[in-house]
Amino acid sequence: MEQSERMIAVSNKNENLYVTVQQEVELGAQSLRRGSADMAVTFFHSALNKLDERQPFYDHIVHNLLLGYKALIEQLLAAGDIKTAGDFLRSALRLEIRGEMARNNDFRKAFAVAFQQLGLTFFKFKYFDESILCIRKSISIFRSPGFHVNLTNALAASEQKAELSDFTSDITEQQLGRHIFIACVPKSGSTFLKNLLVNVTGYRDVFMVYAAGQSEHELYLPTLVENARLDSVTQQHCRASDANVHMMQAFGIRPVVLVRNIFDSVMSLVDFYNKGADYNSYFRADYQSLDDETKVLLVIDNVIPWYLQFVASWSLVEKQRRLEIFWLSYEDLIADKTSSIQNVLQFYGLGAAKRGIDQKIKQTESAERAIRFNKGVAGRGKSGLSSGQKERIRHLARYYPTTDFGRIGL
């Protein structure tokens, strides 16, 4: 409960009023300590009705009333009375800090935390929609990065879609730029595709992560917000985590999901690491000292599971209709670059003349050293991997019986 030792000067006219308010607040506090949440709500509500936001302690009484509602709702949920708990929740959600404490960050955060805690209570009882209402209320009061942990869990459990206001109050949907987003497996021609789309559209090349290297290429909210107004092209090695999906929903991002034959991927990865790219792995201390057979098995056992998770996660998102997705394969891209680009542009409601695309392809391919694009090489895994190694990969896929891995050659 919010108590205050602040002394205020009052006129004789208001003295009786403040005495009554003080008495009701004290009775409300006593009721809360005794576990009589319904009486606490009654006393705090009565005290609040005697004041307006221009008067001292108005916001403190609002906070106390919220704590009363919180305690009462928790008691009702424990008793299984969701209907009455929902009625009181609607009253709690109407509470606002409108007085002098509205500019006090510590006070606003404490007020928001109470709604967070109430949201966790609803979540515990599996009332996920109500949990989201509470958490969104807390975020509207005070934006704390920690609040998004609970929001992500509640959105995932409820299967609701995220909203832009969940993540920022500084941008409207009308201000959002157009985002071409390539979610890709490594060594799938993604850098070539990204550079080509940048050249064709003139959009900004934006990497929306906190850091690359050994880090998962998860969307990083501050960078996403910073670049939200731009027309951009982004290429990231990211699975369809709930957090990524929610940010994409909120910021209007529809991904191109780029994949490659899984056996060819193994061969390309081994080559990549052999040339020194093992620096961005967690096995970098030992990789170069391993024999060729062990290197292949290391990639199969440690890296390929990520590839399978990548396909399984985006397939599930598509099946659940959480996002609209455009699938593209490395094989289709290298077989017909022009058609592939036209199809991607069409997915985003964009267009470009075939002649212009062909010209941009030539320009992009001329920068081979920068884009590291292995032109037209497909099918290496079929002959380069042993039957045992290929069976080892197929064995890993058995953990995902509902996922169709035909897109990656399984």
Contact 132, 155 (CB under 8 A): yes
Last residue within a domain, chosen from 166, 191, 212: 166
Contact 107, 64 (CB under 8 A): no
Is residue 357, in this structure, part of any structural domain at all? Answer: yes
CATH number at residue 99: 1.25.40.10
Report pLDDT for 3: 46
Is residue 213, in this structure, part of any structural domain at all? Answer: yes
Sheet containing strand 179-184, strands side by side: 204-205, 232-236, 179-184, 254-259, 326-329
Is residue 7, in this structure, part of any structural domain at all? Answer: no
Residue 200 sits in the same domain as residue 226: yes
Residue 224 sits in the same domain as residue 254: yes
The closest alpha carbon to 156, from 14, 1, 317, belongs to 317
Last residue within a domain, chosen from 166, 190, 212: 166
Is residue 179, in this structure, part of any structural domain at all? Answer: yes
> Which range of residues forms the domain containing residue 246?
173-408
Residue 233 sits in the same domain as residue 311: yes
Report pLDDT for 404: 95
Last residue within a domain, chosen from 166, 193, 217: 166
Is residue 6, in this structure, part of any structural domain at all? Answer: no
Instruction: Count each helix (H run) and each strand (E run) in the chain, helices first.
Output: 19, 5
Contact 130, 118 (CB under 8 A): no
Residue 303 sits in the same domain as residue 187: yes
Is residue 270, in this structure, part of any structural domain at all? Answer: yes
The DSSP output letter for 378 is: -
Residue 271 sits in the same domain as residue 373: yes
Q: What's the token pair of residue 340?
A: 């592939």
Residue 324 sits in the same domain as residue 241: yes
The DSSP output letter for 169 is: S
The pTM for the full model equals 0.89
Report pLDDT for 54: 86
Residue ranges in the chain modelled with pLDDT below 70: 1-15, 368-377
Contact 66, 114 (CB under 8 A): yes
Distance of alpha carbon 247 from its chain centroid, rounded?
Answer: 4
Residue 103 sits in the same domain as residue 33: yes
Residue 146 sits in the same domain as residue 289: no
Residue 184 sits in the same domain as residue 69: no
Is residue 23, in this structure, part of any structural domain at all? Answer: yes
Q: Which amino acid is at 158?
A: S
The CA distance from 410 to 406, in Å, is 5
CATH number at residue 203: 3.40.50.300
Residue with tokens 């936001």: 53
Q: What's the token pair of residue 39?
A: 């009486």
Express each pLDDT in 157-206 by its tens digit. 999 999 999 999 999 999 999 999 999 999 999 999 999 999 999 999 99
Angle, helix 37-49 to helix 58-78, in steps of 10 degrees? 150
Residue 90 sits in the same domain as residue 20: yes
Measured CA distances, 328 to 168, 332, 343, 372, 400 (Å): 31, 7, 9, 19, 21
376: left (phi over 0), alpha (psi -120 to 50) or beta: left
Report pLDDT for 348: 97
Residue 107 sits in the same domain as residue 138: yes
Report pLDDT for 9: 46
The closest alpha carbon to 133, from 90, 71, 72, 167, belongs to 90
Q: Is 11 helix (H, G, I), strand (E, B) or coil?
A: coil
Is residue 2, in this structure, part of any structural domain at all? Answer: no
Number of domains into which the chain is organized? 2
Contact 330, 379 (CB under 8 A): no
Angle, helix 262-274 to helix 304-319, in steps of 10 degrees? 140
Report pLDDT for 281: 84
Contact 91, 118 (CB under 8 A): no
Residue 223 sits in the same domain as residue 316: yes
